[in-house]
Amino acid sequence: MKNIKVLVKLSAVPDGGKIIKKTGSTVYLVTDAIVLYSANKSGRPVRVLRAADSNRILVKDGGLNFSEYPASTQVLWVVDPYRLSEWLDRQIQGHANDNH
């Protein structure tokens, strides 16, 4: 199924989602933290880089390049229709629960 692009705030994109900046064409992976592991294969994280409050991390080129952006930034979320439908259902259910 073909992906679609939806204009949303970066804060709305699920962890692991893919986005394109409104004026660009590069695809980024969205996350809140990047885990660095030791080269000695111990399997234990050496360091965890976390986004500051109200920010998200955009990862480019397989994780070699990343930057932090405000979560309020508008981006184009690249998503398949099925995943978008699931996300919309969760959003609607969350708001329905707010009214009780």
pTM of the model: 0.81
Give the model confidence (pLDDT) of 51-97 as tens digits.
999 999 999 977 789 999 999 999 999 999 999 999 999 889 876 65
Q: Regarding predicted confidence, which is higher, 24 or 61? A: 24
Phi, psi angle pair for 32, to nearest 5°: -105, -10
* pLDDT for res 100: 44
Rounded Cα gap, residues 29 and 10, in angstroms: 11
- CATH code for 7-78? 2.30.30
Helix (H) or strand (E) holding 94: helix 81-98
Helix (H, G, I), strand (E, B) or coil at 10: helix
First to last CA, the chain: 37
Rounded Cα gap, residues 12 and 58, in angstroms: 14
